[in-house]
């Protein structure tokens, strides 16, 4: 079977899994997707999330990435990085998990800098790793400010477990011992050999990246990005006429965001809705509302920028065609 056939087979299976999970959730919690939009009572609250998703979030992402690239001796304009972010989000939309666009970001930045193979792409992962750490710190910071609800202990346990999991995972990724265990090995076959060589360069760049330097220079951008993401959730709940204190979002949404990265379904669809139902249910949010908020948030934060990336991609394609 050809590689492209395998890819489409896996893609089709992910779409089926996503649809089945959504169908199951809709049956369990009684969500009517056709009438769900009627539950939005305060449409004006969606203006801020929409503007944030198309302006502040990508601008912060581009400038944060720019700092990571600069520390590896790579100079890029904010305008180009913005284009690559929107384009990559569009291209990676149908890949499993929430970070499919990162794979295309790695591809495009290394294509632009062939002399920095492995090094350029590692900035995407390094940026993501620090973002995860900040998410964890925010969730820990918010715990003392959450009112002691009935299942407060459950929230604390889940947040602490997630933090431990993330820290352990990052420690393993940056472990010299793991890197040394395979970096000097030889494998047969040109494809396997090239892949191993690239993996060694990529992993080496991750381990040697000056995290302390970039953390000091980009910490404010990372914090602002994560706080804005959570603010979008806050406003989406308000659009449905449901008020939840910001600190409660700060405690549970990082957990949802990190667990949704698991490459099980397309864009985390279905998995994320289940997580919304469980974690926001700890605050007494009805299951049907949690699913509705999750889907609307996904539309604003992911689908709208993806659509914009598709428009940019089409415009670029037509411009090249006219030039020929």
Q: Which two tokens stand for residue 13?
A: 């299976």
pTM, full prediction: 0.81
Task: Single out the residue of 250, 254, 226 nearest to residue 52, CA to CA.
Answer: 226
- pLDDT at position 62, please? 94
pLDDT for position 259: 78
pLDDT of residue 47: 92
From CA 228, how far away is CA 99, in angstroms rounded?
18
Identify the DSSP state of 290: H
How many domains is the chain partitioned into structurally?
A: 1
> Scanning the structure block, which residue is given the tokens 């959504």?
22
Say how many Å lie between the first and final Cα of the chain, rounded: 36
CA distances 312 to 57, 85, 86, Å, are: 17, 11, 8
Phi, psi dihedrals of residue 97, rounded to the nearest 5°: 75, -175
- Could you tell me where the beta strands, DSSP code E, fall in the chain? none
- Looking at the chain, how many residues does it have? 324
For residue 275, the model assigns a pLDDT of 86
Which of these, 135, 132, 84, lies nearest to 111 by C-alpha position? 84
pLDDT of the residue at 27: 54
| Long-range contacts, 249-253 (Cβ 8 Å, 24+) | 250/138, 250/139, 250/141, 250/142, 250/145, 251/139, 251/142, 251/143, 251/146, 251/155, 251/159, 252/139, 252/155, 252/159, 252/279, 252/280, 252/282, 252/283, 253/229
Mean pLDDT, contiguous 10-residue spans, the chain (324 residues): 47 52 52 62 89 92 93 92 89 65 90 91 91 85 75 81 89 92 84 88 92 82 90 93 89 82 62 85 86 86 83 74 67
What is the sign, positive or negative, of the torsion defined by CA atoms of 304, 300, 219, 159?
negative
| Residue-number span of the structural domain to which 318 is assigned | 3-323
């Amino acid at each position: 079977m050809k590689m492209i056939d395998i890819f489409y087979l896996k893609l089709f299976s992910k779409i089926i899994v996503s649809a089945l999970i959504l169908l199951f959730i809709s049956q369990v919690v009684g969500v009517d997707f056709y009438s769900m939009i009627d539950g939005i009572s305060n449409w004006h609250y969606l203006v801020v999330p929409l503007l944030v998703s198309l302006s502040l979030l990508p601008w912060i992402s581009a400038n944060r990435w720019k700092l990571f690239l600069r520390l590896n001796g790579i100079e890029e304009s904010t305008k180009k990085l913005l284009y690559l972010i929107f384009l990559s989000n569009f291209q990676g939309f149908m890949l499993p998990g929430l970070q499919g666009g990162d794979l295309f970001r790695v591809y495009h930045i290394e294509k632009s800098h062939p002399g920095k193979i492995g090094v350029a792409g590692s900035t995407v992962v390094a940026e993501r790793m620090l973002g995860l750490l900040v998410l964890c710190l925010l969730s820990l910071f918010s715990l003392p400010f959450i009112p002691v609800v009935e299942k407060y202990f459950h929230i604390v346990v889940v947040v602490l477990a997630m933090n431990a999991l993330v820290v352990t995972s990052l420690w393993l990724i940056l472990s010299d011992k793991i890197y040394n265990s395979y970096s000097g090995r030889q494998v047969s076959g040109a494809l396997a050999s090239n892949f191993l060589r690239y993996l060694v360069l990529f992993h080496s760049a991750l381990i040697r990246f000056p995290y302390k330097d970039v953390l000091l220079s980009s910490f404010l951008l990372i914090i602002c990005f994560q706080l804005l993401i959570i603010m979008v959730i806050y406003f989406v709940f308000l659009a449905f006429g449901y008020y939840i204190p910001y600190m409660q979002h700060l405690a549970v949404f990082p957990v949802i965001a990190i667990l949704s990265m698991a490459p099980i379904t397309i864009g985390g669809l279905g998995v994320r809705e289940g997580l919304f139902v469980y974690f926001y249910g700890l605050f007494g949010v009805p299951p049907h509302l949690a699913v509705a908020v999750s889907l609307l948030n996904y539309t604003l934060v992911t689908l709208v920028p993806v659509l914009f990336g598709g428009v940019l991609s089409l415009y670029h394609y037509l411009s090249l065609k006219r030039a020929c």
